[in-house]
């Protein structure tokens, strides 16, 4: 079984593209070493992240993120064991949700299998899909 944890947090300050690239590069390096996969969404100063891997490694990373002073108001959305990863091929997938939100939604389509049909919704676990869609919908309201 794979441990999967999802959370929201608020950035203490708006992150520039360069800052986000730095976060992603460091995350991807560390995640590969720990065999953690996941997804990071960022828009309007809010992060939504899915982390998946061993329970020990994911909880340790979540604690590290919680201690990072770039975040505040961390909201633990869900944690559970799942039979397989939703983002198996991603050390950390990333979609910025500023500007055209539809482009962000489109890039999330068929994450696991990358099917060609644009009408297919996000192809992953229903809870992950629900939380991703909720995050995107809230960004559209902001």
How sure is the predictor about 51, in pLDDT bands with cuts at 50, 70 and 90?
A: very high
When pLDDT is averaged across residues 9-35 and rounded to a whole number, the result is 86
How sure is the predictor about 72, in pLDDT bands with cuts at 50, 70 and 90?
A: confident
With 0-12 CB in 10 A as exposed, 13-18 as middle and 19+ as buried, what is 47? buried
Residue 17's pLDDT is: 81
Q: Which residue has the tokens 């992603």?
A: 24
With 0-12 CB in 10 A as exposed, 13-18 as middle and 19+ as buried, what is 56? exposed
Q: Is the pLDDT of residue 108 over 60?
A: no
Q: Is the pLDDT of residue 142 over 80?
A: no
Q: Which two tokens stand for residue 87?
A: 């983002």
Contacts of 104 (CB under 8 A, 6+ apart): 41, 43, 95, 96, 97, 136
How sure is the predictor about 125, in pLDDT bands with cuts at 50, 70 and 90?
A: low
pTM: 0.70
């Amino acid at each position: 079984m794979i441990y999967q944890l999802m959370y929201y947090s608020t950035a203490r300050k708006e992150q520039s593209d360069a800052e986000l690239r730095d976060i992603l590069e460091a995350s991807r390096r560390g995640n590969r070493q720990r065999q953690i996969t996941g997804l990071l969404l960022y828009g309007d100063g809010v992060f939504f992240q899915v982390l998946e891997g061993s329970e020990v490694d994911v909880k340790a990373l979540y604690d590290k993120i919680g201690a990072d002073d770039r975040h505040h108001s961390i909201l633990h959305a869900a944690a559970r064991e799942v039979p397989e990863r939703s983002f198996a091929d991603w050390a950390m997938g990333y979609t910025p949700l500023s500007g055209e939100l539809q482009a962000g939604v489109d890039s999330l389509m068929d994450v696991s299998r990358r099917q060609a049909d644009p009408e297919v919704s996000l192809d992953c676990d229903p809870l992950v899909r629900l939380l991703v869609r909720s995050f995107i919908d809230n960004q559209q309201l902001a």
